[in-house]
Every structure is written in structure tokens, then in C-alpha cells.
Chains A and B, each alone.
Chain A
């Protein structure tokens, strides 16, 4: 039986009907059309579905939508007003931190989580923070450089 949940997504209160087994990622994608959270695996390895829940990076395939009841959720679509870029997004653009782009929303949201805890991370800290977000295109180095640049832009 579908159940009704309420949560705050990108600053707006939203009400959704979900089945008990519905994962948060599917509720965001199918229920709210927020397709910037991507489904890349079935086992919580890839991190393409990462969103912020209460400010912390969470793989939205590891959470039932019901578990997010009442939570504040930020997706990649909610980082900056339309037509503008958040400094982390800007850094990924300028430092070539993406190719196919499928992992990119997850990388950016994980970066936000990292920088909220450690505003000045060194390379090892960045690589450690990103180890749960897989990228097959870039070899990671431009992503690491993007995160460093974002840290400097935000400092």
C-alpha cells in the first residue's frame, strides 16, 4: 500500500506517495522529476545517486523514501538558482572535473559534504572522501583538482 511522506527538497516542502519499498533515489527521480540523481549500480558502490540529507552526503539508494520522512534533502538541482552555478559546480566546470557527467552530481554533493567538515582538505583527504564515488572517465585527477579549487574558492 502506498504511504504518504513529507519532506523538504531543495528548500521546498513536498508530499509524495511511495510504496514502503521505494528507495529515496526512485522517489526523487520518478516522484519529483529530479533526475540529476543517477542510478549506476544496485549495491551502493558507485555513488552516482548521492544527495545531501540534512547536509550530509547519502547514497540515496541506501535509504528508503520512508526513512527520509521529514528530512531536508538537497539534490544537484537545488545547489544554485537557475542560470547560476554554486562555487563547487563552477570549479568542476573550470577544472575539467567531468567527462560523461554521470558521476558528476554525486561527486559534487560528496565534495560539499567534505568541505563542510574539512574546508581545507589535502589531496589524500579528497581522494579518501571520494573513494565511494566511482568515475570511469577522468582518472580522478581533474576531480581532485576541482575539489581543491572549490575549497579555495569557498575559503
Chain B
């Protein structure tokens, strides 16, 4: 019997991808296609006084120049989906103001350069802490403009209670979340050690290699078709229906193969392309340039975290007190303050806590999600202070964490009891690693740091279809977007459930007109939710198979087994039929058996949190302040590794992004709110020489309700990686950095202050 679960196999889409055959969103051919280029705001906060489009319209090849008034939008809401082009008020530099549509990309670009926008500057809000103070200028004029359904897709955490502020705050503070229990002051008073600090993380860009791209057209019957690089087809359909006042069944969203997304591809690009296509009645493609993507899309929020924690002599954690400020940019609808104020507690038990999160408007971007949104910043603060607490108490840092690590049934500060979680297991695994034992024997300037990161996972109902053809091959149909290799996991789940070789399973990712429902890909929920639906669909198809085989072989279904595509009697394998033979008897004129098909659904309600522990080994150059990560070890609880090669791929990819957080990545604005980092020249993501060898330790603590015990694993590996590198720098130099990224200048300054 072919072993399927737990066996490394190549991705099923690998042959297409290595031959250039995969059609990404910018690659498909559409008859009569027009190309679009955006005109972006040069001011961070302004009123639009006039837009002169005449010179642009005169460019040969330009078909139209569209402004907000030209788009058939249907609501007054002021979120990015509902207001794809700024109507009156511009709230960040880079906000789209007009779309130039032309026969070629080059003509569109020529036209865009000639659109003259007259802006009346308003006060610009760039400093998130100053923005909170009473009397601060407002980042956007007050409106009722919330809207959209994009918050709930990212994580299965609640969003705390709306807090009555104890301090006077400006109207820029749109979100206030408070989580508290017990007497924190008393907990600190009873502590043997209390440490605190203020931690800053910048705006960070998802840096998917494929810039955001969408193509939209109307079919002759009026259906709006949108072919796009998105993480969620159904959520995009709903968002477009809301934006343009269309019934959902008049919209078909086709999620093309994704060239990376990491949380950033949600309903920003589609309203622009669809609005232009609806306005013009012709197909329009908007494939962003990298600079347009940097300027106009949705990186993740900058955060400021004031954190204070304490512990008893024996290392038992006592109080957790946090004040977390999340820079929403100009996003009025929702913020990450709910998620990050929950995750700052880490996977640890606390006697008392008082955590307040603020979501504050500024004139920087509109924020979006990026792999574990709100989590790396929270872990940076907490895991740094845990090391300081361990030092103050004279305890081993891993021992301190182990003493407080949550187990199933412990209640998170969100109030939700933890489901099965391998926090203890990953810490024990990382403690056994020789690098930890060798940490005191390293050369001068080197150090090893430890940190933990976790992610709660997420849930959303989903369905899947399983179909078996006459040739004995299987097709799995879902509407999930494959962001991380989930299709290959679906094939393994279906093959193992049904009794087929995985090579005989193909996976079709359907569009919103033809596929069963699936939520967006994000929040580490696809394998846990859609994967469970796939398992049930394959099981339902297997019942059909056994019913037909039972009649043919005259053996009760319970006495049959399916092995590698053959149905046979248990204990008498000679009495058998192949899956192909049975399917052929069903799929024919006058056939007597139902097609070998199944439909499966899932509505997971249990959580499946994932947790990872990291060891980072760094070398710091005291003369230049440069930090090099020499080696990284990550141990993650993955539930069950359906395909270990893909699991390791997620772990390594997460760590590599963590290296970017720790050392390189920062979106910077000038004092007028204009972005300074508008390309990969100014914004450096780690290249092959900057990412070390990453050793992966797969820890399997099965999720009771996951398919074969699997859980979502995409987000957890990034969360603790930056903190581990921060703690390694401290181990190497004694300097504790409170701001990311740890650029040479910041490290050098920290070392310089230390020795002065």
C-alpha cells in the first residue's frame, strides 16, 4: 500500500511552475484587452480641487481617463473597496486618484504622467503617538465610512471589549480594546522581579514577488468576470457586489495561481479593474508596477508596545501590563489592536493582566494583513522581556518559558480556553538542540537567542467535491486559493481517505460560479477547514464506490477495502475490482450505479493553535553594527505533517521573513508622509546570502479535529523569529534593541551607548 500521509512529495503544481506553463494573473490572453495605469496622490492628506485629464486623453492609444465620478460605485462608504478612487479627500500619499486606460501599457503610462491633479494640502498626521493626543490634527475628516467584511478572515481571536478611555484621546483613535483580569498592581508587588520596555516595529511590506494584478470584463450576458491575484474568491465577489451594487450571481471571480500574497491580496486591486471595465464596457487589466504596489497597497501596521511583566522567585509569571498602539494608517474600518492585544500574552499563563490596545489613524497607507498580523510585534516585546526576566531571576530562559507554557484547557487572555497546543513540546525539543548547550562556548561577538511565537489559527465553513472518472483518477474541487501548497495537501488527504495513489488525484481550484464554498486563504485555516471538507468528500465518494463494488463482488461493504485503486475483499485480495472498472460501470448509458462522487463540508468550531520555538545564532560586528544570522533552528507543533516537505517549506519561509523583520525591512516616510522606500532598491527583502541555513524540527501534537491530526501552520513560524534574533544579539553583545529592524546604525548606536 502506498504510504501517503507523512511522506514528502513534490507539489502537484511543480511541473507547471518549473516550465513556465503556469498562467498568473498577468499572463492570460483576453480579446480586446485594455491596460490601465494609476495616477497616485503625491500628498498624504489633501482635498482634490481639480483633475485635468485633457492632455492625457490626447495621448495616442489612451482610451479614457477615469476619476471617482466615472466609476459606477454604489455606496458612500469610504473604505478602499467602496472608494477605489479618492472622491474628495486624499488620506495617504499613494492613494489612487485616477485610472488611465489605453491600448498598451506604455500609452497608459504616458497618459498617467500627464494627468494634472490639483490638491489642497491638509494637516498631515505621520506620528502615531502624537496623533493620539487631544487636539492633534485629524488624519481624515469624520464620516460614517466603515464597511466591508475583511476583518474576520484573518484569525480566530475575539476582539476584546470596547474600552472607556481613562485618558483624553483625539478622534484619530478609532479602536480601543481592553483585556483585564485580576489585580495587576498586586501581582507586580508580589513579584521577585519586574521588567518593562517600549518596543517599536515599522510598517512592513508583504513583498509578494507578483505585484497585485486583476483583469475584469463583462460577458455578453452582463456577468462581470474578474480574473485576479487574490487570496479569496468569494470574499472578493461579496466586496465587489457591495462596491458596485451588483447581485452576487452577476459576478464571477476567478482566483488565478498566486505569485505570493502573505495576507496582502484582499479586494484592493479588483475594484479598480472592475470599475474601469464596467465604466468602459471593455476588458481592462491593471497589473501594478512594483512602485505602484509599494505606494498604493496595504502593508502591515507599525506598532508601539509598552510592556511590563513580572515573575516570582521560582519563575512563575505574575502580571502582564501592556499599552499597545497600532498605526492603522488611514484605515477607518478595523485595526489589528484586537489581535495583537490578545497575542501579547504569548502561549503562557498569567496570574493577572491588563492590556489595552489602540487603533490610531494616520496618513500612512491603509494597513493590511501580513503573515501573523500583529503577532511578530507582540512576540518581539514579550519574548525580549522574558529573557530579561530570566536574567534578573538567574533562571534559564527556556526553563522560565517551560514553567509557564500553556497546555490544553488553560485560558488565554482572550477568554478562550486553549485547544491542544504543543508549547511545552516545542520548548523541550529546542532545549535538546546542541546549539543551545553550546551557547556559552561561542567566539567573541556571537550569540544564541531563543524565542517562541504562536498563532491561534482560524475557522470558516467550507465544502469540497470529490469525483472519480472512468480511468480511475480522482478530481477534488474546492474554491480555496492555493497560497502555500494546500492543493498538494488536499491530494494527500483525498488519496489516503479513499485508497488511491496520490499521483492519481488532481485538484481543481474552481471559481465562484462553479465551486463549492471556501473562505479566503489566510489565518492558517485552509488545511484545517477545507482539508476536512476534502476528507469528508473523499469518504462520501468511497461509500459510493463500496456500494457498487459490493453488488458487483457480492461481498458486504464492511468486508471490502480499497488499496492503491483496487477494491478487494479483506483477507481475500484475489476477489477484487479496480476503481476504474467500478467507475466505468457507473459512468455509462444504462449504468446501474450512482457516479462515484462525494460532497463534504466542514464547520470547525474547535481551535487548532500552532506554536514554534526558535534558536537564532548570530554574529555582530562591533565596528559596523552589522548583524549576520549564521544559523537558525525552528521547532514547530504542526499537528500532523501531511507532507513534511511542504511543512518544512512553510517553516523556512516564515523564518526567512522573520530575518527580514529583524534586520532589514522598514517602510519609511518623510515628515510630509511621502513614502521613501518605493522599490526593492530602498526596501531590502533578504536575498540568498542573507538567509542562513534553517534547521527544521517538526513536532507533531495532533489536532483532534484536523484531517489526520493536521492544523494550520503558515503563520506561526514567522512570529517568534525576529525576537529570537533580537535575543541572540543581546546574548552576543549585551545590547538590547527596542526597535526593529536592527539596522547597522541602530546596533552600532546601541553598542556605543553601552560602552560610553
Contact pick for B106, options A19, A35, A76, A101, CB 8 Å = A19
Known interface pairs A139-B656, A140-B691. Does A41 touch B20 (Cβ–Cβ under 8 Å)? no
Residues in A whose Cβ lies below 8 Å from that of B685: 134, 136
A46 CB-CB contact with B under 8 Å? yes
B691 in contact with A92 (CB, 8 Å) = no
Residues in A whose Cβ lies below 8 Å from that of B290: 40-43, 46
B20 in contact with A136 (CB, 8 Å) = no
A46 in contact with B680 (CB, 8 Å) = yes
Give chain B nearest CB distance to A37 CB in angstroms: 8
Residues in A whose Cβ lies below 8 Å from that of B485: 99
Known interface pairs A85-B19, A102-B259. Does A137 touch B649 (Cβ–Cβ under 8 Å)? yes
Docked pose: A37 CA to B21 CA in angstroms: 10
Residues in A whose Cβ lies below 8 Å from that of B689: 127-128, 131
A143 in contact with B259 (CB, 8 Å) = no
Known interface pairs A101-B13, A108-B18, A139-B691. Does A96 touch B646 (Cβ–Cβ under 8 Å)? yes
Give chain B nearest CB distance to A151 CB in angstroms: 16
Docked pose: A76 CA to B689 CA in angstroms: 24
Residues in A whose Cβ lies below 8 Å from that of B17: 98, 101, 104
Q: For residues 1 through 51 of chain B, which have their beta carbon under 8 Å from a beta carbon of chain A? A: 8, 10-11, 13-24, 26-27, 29
Contact pick for A139, options B260, B484, B645, B694, CB 8 Å = B694
Docked pose: A85 CA to B15 CA in angstroms: 8
Docked pose: A43 CA to B685 CA in angstroms: 14
Residues in A whose Cβ lies below 8 Å from that of B657: 136
A35 in contact with B688 (CB, 8 Å) = no
A75 CB-CB contact with B under 8 Å? yes
Docked pose: A19 CA to B11 CA in angstroms: 40
A21 CB-CB contact with B under 8 Å? yes
A138 in contact with B209 (CB, 8 Å) = no
Docked pose: A105 CA to B17 CA in angstroms: 8
B210 in contact with A100 (CB, 8 Å) = yes
B209 in contact with A134 (CB, 8 Å) = yes
B652 in contact with A38 (CB, 8 Å) = no
Give chain A nearest CB distance to B38 CB in angstroms: 14
B29 in contact with A93 (CB, 8 Å) = no
B20 in contact with A36 (CB, 8 Å) = yes
Docked pose: A141 CA to B659 CA in angstroms: 14
Report how many A-B pairs have Cβ atoms within 8 Å: 169
Docked pose: A33 CA to B28 CA in angstroms: 9
Residues in B whose Cβ lies below 8 Å from that of A142: 648-649, 652
Q: For residues 24 through 59 of chain A, which have their beta carbon under 8 Å from a beta carbon of chain B? A: 26, 29, 33-43, 45-46, 48
Residues in B whose Cβ lies below 8 Å from that of A35: 20, 23-24, 26-27
B18 in contact with A85 (CB, 8 Å) = yes
B262 CB-CB contact with A under 8 Å? yes
Q: Is the interface of B mostly helix, strand, loop or mixed?
A: loop
Per-position 1/0 for B703-740, Cβ under 8 A of A: 00000000000000000000000000000000000000
Residue of B nearest to A23 (CB): B106
Residues in B whose Cβ lies below 8 Å from that of A66: none
Docked pose: A40 CA to B645 CA in angstroms: 26
Docked pose: A126 CA to B691 CA in angstroms: 13
Residue of A nearest to B645 (CB): A96
Give chain A nearest CB distance to B670 CB in angstroms: 20
B29 in contact with A101 (CB, 8 Å) = no
A9 CB-CB contact with B under 8 Å? no
Known interface pairs A42-B679, A93-B15, A127-B689. Does A101 touch B27 (Cβ–Cβ under 8 Å)? no
Docked pose: A39 CA to B646 CA in angstroms: 26
Docked pose: A89 CA to B690 CA in angstroms: 24
Residue of B nearest to A108 (CB): B18
B445 CB-CB contact with A under 8 Å? no
Give chain B nearest CB distance to A34 CB in angstroms: 7
A133 CB-CB contact with B under 8 Å? yes
Docked pose: A100 CA to B258 CA in angstroms: 6
- Using C-beta atoms within 8 Å of the partner chain, give the interface range for chain A: 35 or more
Give chain B nearest CB distance to A122 CB in angstroms: 13
Known interface pairs A93-B14, A101-B257, A127-B688. Does A48 touch B209 (Cβ–Cβ under 8 Å)? yes
Residues in B whose Cβ lies below 8 Å from that of A41: 290, 679-680
A33 in contact with B688 (CB, 8 Å) = no
B19 in contact with A98 (CB, 8 Å) = no
B15 in contact with A140 (CB, 8 Å) = no
B754 CB-CB contact with A under 8 Å? no
B180 CB-CB contact with A under 8 Å? no
Per-position 1/0 for B163-192, Cβ under 8 A of A: 000000000000000000000000000000
Give chain A nearest CB distance to B454 CB in angstroms: 20
Residue of B nearest to A127 (CB): B688
Residues in A whose Cβ lies below 8 Å from that of B10: 93-94, 96
B688 in contact with A103 (CB, 8 Å) = no
Contact pick for B681, options A45, A99, A128, A137, CB 8 Å = A45
A104 in contact with B652 (CB, 8 Å) = no
Q: For residues 478 through 534 of chain B, which have their beta carbon under 8 Å from a beta carbon of chain A? A: 483-485
Residues in A whose Cβ lies below 8 Å from that of B693: 141
Contact pick for A45, options B16, B24, B208, B679, CB 8 Å = B679
A100 in contact with B680 (CB, 8 Å) = no
B207 CB-CB contact with A under 8 Å? yes
Per-position 1/0 for A93-127, Cβ under 8 A of B: 11010111111110010000000000000000011
Known interface pairs A33-B29, A136-B657, A137-B649. Does A105 touch B484 (Cβ–Cβ under 8 Å)? no
Q: 9 closest pairs, A vs B, by CB?
A: A36-B20, A101-B17, A102-B259, A139-B652, A45-B680, A139-B656, A76-B20, A35-B27, A41-B290
Known: A26-B105, A100-B259, A108-B18. 17 other contacts (CB 8 A): A22-B106, A35-B20, A36-B19, A36-B20, A36-B21, A38-B210, A75-B20, A76-B20, A96-B10, A101-B13, A102-B210, A131-B688, A136-B208, A136-B656, A136-B657, A141-B652, A142-B649
18 pairs, A vs B, C-beta closer than 8 Å:
A29-B27, A34-B20, A40-B211, A93-B10, A93-B11, A93-B14, A100-B210, A100-B260, A101-B14, A127-B689, A131-B688, A134-B680, A136-B657, A138-B649, A138-B652, A139-B649, A140-B688, A141-B693
Chain A residues near B (Cβ < 8 Å): 19, 21-22, 26, 29, 33-43, 45-46, 48, 75-77, 79-80, 85, 89, 92-94, 96, 98-105, 108, 126-128, 130-144
